[in-house]
Amino acid sequence: MRLLKGQHMATVSGLVFELKRFAIHDGEGIRTTVFLKGCPLRCAWCHNPEGMCAQRYVWQNKGECIGCGLCLAACPRGALAQEEGNAVIADHAACTRCGACAGACPTGAIRFDAKEMTVDEVLAVVERDSLFYDVSGGGITLSGGEPTAQPEFAQALLEEAKRRGLATAVETCLFTERGTLQELLPLVDRFYTDIKLADSGRHREATGVPNEKIIENFKYLAGQDCDIVARIPVIPGYTDSEGNVRGIARLVRETRGDIPVELMEFNPLGASKYRRLGMEYKLAGHKKEHGKYLALKEAAKREGNC
C-alpha cells in the first residue's frame, strides 16, 4: 500500500461521497467526517449504500426531475428511459459513468454520488473548522464505505492530516489486509471497529463475507496497544439477539479488557438513498426499537465492557 516514491501526499486523489462537517457521533468532539467510496461488505442494513460501489454511481432524485428529456438525449449508451409521469430511470448495468447525463440535467435531479478529490481539496474543507476542533478535542474521521478500500488515499489523507496537527480517527469494518492496518496504525489516534456478528456463517449471510479476517484484525489492533472502540450495530432480525451482543462483548473483553463496546441503534433513515440508487432496501418497514436497544446495552454491560 505504500505510496509511490516521490509522490506528493497532497496531490493523491480518491473518491469521496460526503464531507460531513460538525459531526458529533464519529469520534470525540466536533469533527469532519470524510466518507470514502468502496466497501467489501454488502450489509443489508447499510446506511450509506452509495458507499458500497468503488466506482461513481448515478444518483437520482425523482422529486427534482422536470421530465425535460435532456439527459436522455445526452446519454451515448441509451442507459436512461422515461417512465410514466416523465421521471427518468437509469439502467445502471448499461451506464458507463461518463457524466453526460449529469452535465445535461438543469435541476440536479440526476448526478453522481461521489466526487474525485485530492488530499489538499479534502483538507481545505476539513480545516475550515480547526477552531472547533481545538476547543472540543475534535478532528477528522475517515468513514465510508470502508476507508481501507482506498488504502493509498486513506494513508495520504491521514498522513497529511497528522502533519497539519489534526486529530485522526478511522471507522472500519476491519475486512482488509493486515499490511493496510500496519501502514495506517501510526497515523490513527483512534479506531472505531465494527463487529457485527459473532457467528461467521451468519456474518456471511448478512454481509457477504465471513468474520474470521475481521476478528483476526481486531485482535491484531488490540495487541498494538492502540486506542480502539468496538461497535456493534443493533439491526432488527440480524444482529439484535442477546446472544450475539454478549458474544461479541465477551470476545472484546477476552481480547483486551480496556476496550469499550458501543451499541449503535438502528436508524431507518437510509431508505431514501436506496430509492435514489434504484436499489432494494431489505429493512423497509422496520422502525427503531429503543426499548430493545436499551435491553441489549444492559446485556453488553453484564460482560463488563460498556
Provide the residue count of the chain.
Answer: 306
Q: Rg of the Cα trace of the chain?
A: 20
Segment 74-90 mean pLDDT: 85
Cα–Cα distance for residue pair 265/293, rounded to 1 Å: 6
Please report the domains of the chain, with CATH numbers, ordered by start residue: 9-53+114-301 (3.20.20.70), 58-112 (3.30.70.20)
Q: Which residues pair with 193 in a beta bridge?
A: 172, 230
What confidence score (pLDDT) does residue 278 get?
78
| Dihedral in degrees, nearest 10, Cα atoms 166, 28, 45, 203 | 90
- State pLDDT tens for residues 2-22: 554 445 777 899 999 999 999
Of 99-108, 145-154, 252-261, the least confident: 99-108
**Average model confidence (pLDDT) for the chain?**
92
Q: How far is CA 217 from CA 36, 193, 205, 222, 286, in A?
A: 20, 10, 20, 8, 32
Cα–Cα distance for residue pair 26/19, rounded to 1 Å: 12
Cα–Cα distance for residue pair 126/113, rounded to 1 Å: 20
Cell of 296: 441489549
Residue type present at position 82: Q
What DSSP state is assigned to residue 204? Answer: H
What confidence score (pLDDT) does residue 4 get?
47
What confidence score (pLDDT) does residue 283 get?
92
Provide the sign of the torsion angle of the four alpha carbons 268, 194, 299, 24, taken in this order: negative
Cβ pair 306, 256 in contact under 8 A: no
The closest of 221, 224, 201 to 211, measured between CA atoms, is: 201
- State pLDDT tens for residues 247-300: 999 999 999 999 999 999 998 888 888 887 878 899 988 888 999 999 999 999
Cα–Cα distance for residue pair 83/270, rounded to 1 Å: 24
Q: Is 219 strand, coil or helix?
A: helix
Cell of 208: 457477504
